[in-house]
């Protein structure tokens, strides 16, 4: 029983990491209909910025994270205005090819600037160590912070989409872009804000994920598949679906590796196939409006 509780805690913690890395991709893919495979490259940029600010400049961790999010968003918006918007109305294949190319360029750039070695980060002492529930059950303070941030993001994004005027415009654009435009909704501006939010969330996920996942130039490629997996299972564009999928897959992956280590990641992909056979749109998928 104690071991199972430990698996649940580790699984939920890992799920929080997956949610932070994938929620921005869910927004851009589900609400804009834009296949941005450079999403985890932008997360990687956020990670390298927070490492630089914290380790080399000595900035406080919280300030470093905020600065990394801002700069990652700036990089993402420069790419969006200069490159990505050129393929908004092109085929998904064109979007895939362009964004994969951008991901490779970003990977080569960080290798040149920071080198190929693994980057680690020093987090505040208050976030180090573990919280004990009894003598045998414990969880990391930092992982608890990630879980709290994930839940806060879930609530904020859900309320923003369901209760605000901008959320109403987003839902209208996702449901039917032509009708929304006829009603005077500035579709391009709405989607530009969606992309900025998605990029900021990518930067946040990368900045917060460094301590738990490590950081090297292969980060974008390694975690792109996992981010896509979460989005596909949860349903592109669904904040709650992405959260449920991240938590479920995180727990399932940790539990499988603990109880059935020989299966490796096979079980995670198997459960994805089963879910998509039952619900091709994902757990709570939306019909995308496209850009």
pLDDT digits (tens, 9 = 90+) for 151-194: 999 999 999 988 899 988 988 888 888 888 888 889 889 889 99
190/31 Cα distance (integer angstroms): 10
47/69 Cα distance (integer angstroms): 9
For tokens 């913690």, name the residue.
13
For the CA atoms of the chain, what is the radius of gyration? 19
pTM > 0.85: yes or no: yes
Written out in words, the top-level CATH class of the domain with range 2-116+134-275 is mainly alpha
- 204, 46 contact by CB (below 8 A): yes
| pLDDT (tens digit per residue) in 27-49 | 999 888 899 999 999 999 999 99
- pLDDT of residue 290 exceeding 60, the answer is no
pLDDT at 7: 83
| pLDDT (tens digit per residue) in 107-138 | 999 999 999 999 989 889 888 888 887 777 77
Higher pLDDT, 287 or 185: 185
Confidence of residue 21 (pLDDT cuts 50, 70, 90): very high
269/133 Cα distance (integer angstroms): 33
266-278 and 239-259 helices cross at what angle (nearest 10)?
Answer: 140
| pLDDT (tens digit per residue) in 51-71 | 999 999 999 999 999 999 999
Average pLDDT of 3-18?
A: 86
- 122, 64 contact by CB (below 8 A): no
224/107 Cα distance (integer angstroms): 13
| pLDDT (tens digit per residue) in 227-273 | 999 999 998 888 999 999 999 999 988 888 888 887 767 777 888 88
- pLDDT of residue 289 exceeding 60, the answer is no
pLDDT at 114: 94
- pLDDT of residue 76 exceeding 60, the answer is yes
| pLDDT (tens digit per residue) in 87-107 | 988 999 999 999 999 999 999
pLDDT at 244: 94
Ramachandran area for residue 68 (φ above 0: left; ψ -120 to 50: alpha; else beta)? alpha
28/35 Cα distance (integer angstroms): 7
């Amino acid at each position: 029983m104690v071991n199972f509780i430990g698996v649940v805690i580790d699984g939920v913690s890992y799920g929080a990491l997956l949610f932070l890395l994938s929620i921005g991709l869910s927004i851009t893919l589900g609400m804009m209909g834009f296949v941005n495979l450079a999403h985890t490259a932008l997360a990687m940029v956020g990670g390298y910025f927070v490492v630089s600010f914290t380790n080399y400049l000595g900035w406080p961790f919280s300030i470093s994270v905020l600065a990394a999010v801002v700069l990652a968003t700036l990089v993402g918006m420069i790419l969006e205005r200069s490159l990505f918007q050129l393929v908004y109305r092109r085929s998904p294949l064109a979007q895939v090819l362009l964004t994969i190319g951008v991901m490779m360029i970003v990977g080569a750039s960080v290798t040149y600037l920071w080198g190929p070695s693994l980057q680690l980060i020093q987090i505040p002492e208050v976030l180090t160590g573990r919280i004990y529930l009894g003598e045998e059950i414990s969880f990391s303070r930092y992982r608890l912070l990630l879980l709290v941030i994930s839940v806060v993001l879930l609530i904020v994004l859900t309320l923003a989409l369901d209760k605000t005027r901008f959320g109403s415009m987003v839902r209208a654009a996702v449901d039917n872009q032509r009708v929304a435009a006829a009603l005077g909704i500035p579709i391009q501006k709405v989607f530009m804000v969606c992309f900025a939010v998605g990029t900021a969330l990518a930067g946040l996920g990368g900045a917060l994920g460094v301590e738990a996942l490590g950081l090297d130039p292969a980060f974008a490629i390694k975690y792109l598949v996992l981010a896509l997996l979460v989005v596909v299972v949860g349903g592109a564009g669904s904040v709650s679906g992405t959260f449920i999928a991240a938590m479920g897959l995180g727990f399932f992956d940790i539990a499988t590796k603990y109880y059935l280590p020989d299966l490796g990641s096979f079980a995670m992909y198997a459960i994805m196939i089963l879910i998509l056979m039952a619900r091709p749109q994902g757990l709570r998928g939306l019909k995308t409006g496209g850009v």
